[in-house]
C-alpha cells in the first residue's frame, strides 16, 4: 500500500477512535454546589501519617480538576468531606524459593462521609474506598519503608480520584 492509501485509511478510521468519548464538563454538574471543604481524616490504622497523605491527596485532586473550589472554612462550603482511615493492611504477596518475601501489598480502607451544608449525607460506595498497591521488598529496612510510603501515596491518589468521580457520577440529594 502506498503512502496516500495509508494516510486515507488513517483519516477515515480516526472518527471511530473517538466514538463514545467526549470532553468532561464539570461546570454546573452538581447544580448549586460550588465549594467544598476537606476535613483532615482521622487515622485509625497503625500506619503513622497515612491520614495526612490521604487528606492531602483528596484536596489536591479537587484543586487539580477545578470542578469545585476548595475552601478552608467548612461553614462556607456547600459540601464537606470528612472521615477516617479505617485500616492499612500489609501482606506479603510473593516469595523466593527459600521463602523470603519479594513483594508486599498495602491495602488502604477509608470510611468517608460527604455532607451538604444542610447536613444531608451523600453516600459513596464502600467498595470504591479501598485500594491495594504492590511494592518491592528489600533487605534494607529503610528502602522497604520508602517503598511502602510510595505505595500508600499511589493508593491515596487513586482513592482521591474515586471520591471526586463518585460525586459527579451520582445525583446529589
pTM over 0.75: yes
Question: Which pLDDT score, from 0 to 100, does residue 3 have?
Answer: 64
Q: Provide the domain count of the chain.
A: 1
Question: Which pLDDT score, from 0 to 100, does residue 173 have?
Answer: 47
Angstrom distances, CA of residue 29 to CA of 96, 110, 171, 173: 50, 25, 9, 13
Question: Which pLDDT score, from 0 to 100, does residue 166 have?
Answer: 86
Q: Looking at residue 36, which CATH number applies to its domain?
A: 3.30.160.150
| Residue 117: pLDDT over 70 | yes
Positive or negative, the CA dihedral 152, 158, 163, 166 is negative
- Domain of residue 106, residue span: 3-169
| Residue 133: pLDDT over 80 | yes
Give per-residue burial for 52-81: e unless 16+ CB within 10 Å, then b.
ebbbbbbbebbeeeebbebbeebeebbbbb
| CB atoms inside a 10 Å sphere around CB 116 | 16
Question: Which pLDDT score, from 0 to 100, does residue 30 have?
Answer: 63
Amino acid at each position: 500500500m502506498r503512502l496516500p492509501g495509508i494516510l486515507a485509511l488513517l483519516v477515515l478510521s480516526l472518527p471511530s477512535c473517538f466514538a463514545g468519548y467526549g470532553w468532561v464538563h464539570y461546570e454546573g454538574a452538581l447544580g448549586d454546589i460550588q465549594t467544598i471543604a476537606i476535613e483532615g481524616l482521622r487515622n485509625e490504622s497503625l500506619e503513622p501519617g497515612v491520614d495526612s497523605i490521604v487528606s492531602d491527596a483528596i484536596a489536591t485532586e479537587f484543586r487539580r480538576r477545578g470542578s469545585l473550589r476548595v475552601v478552608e472554612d467548612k461553614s462556607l462550603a456547600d459540601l464537606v468531606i470528612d472521615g477516617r482511615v479505617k485500616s492499612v493492611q500489609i501482606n506479603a504477596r510473593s516469595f523466593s524459593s527459600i521463602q523470603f518475601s519479594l513483594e508486599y501489598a498495602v491495602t488502604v480502607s477509608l470510611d468517608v462521609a460527604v455532607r451538604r451544608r444542610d447536613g444531608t449525607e451523600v453516600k459513596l460506595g464502600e467498595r470504591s474506598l479501598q485500594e491495594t498497591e504492590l511494592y518491592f521488598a528489600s533487605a534494607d529496612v529503610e528502602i522497604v519503608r520508602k517503598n511502602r510510603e510510595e505505595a500508600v501515596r499511589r493508593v491515596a491518589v487513586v482513592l482521591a480520584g474515586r471520591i471526586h468521580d463518585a460525586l459527579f457520577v451520582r445525583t446529589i440529594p
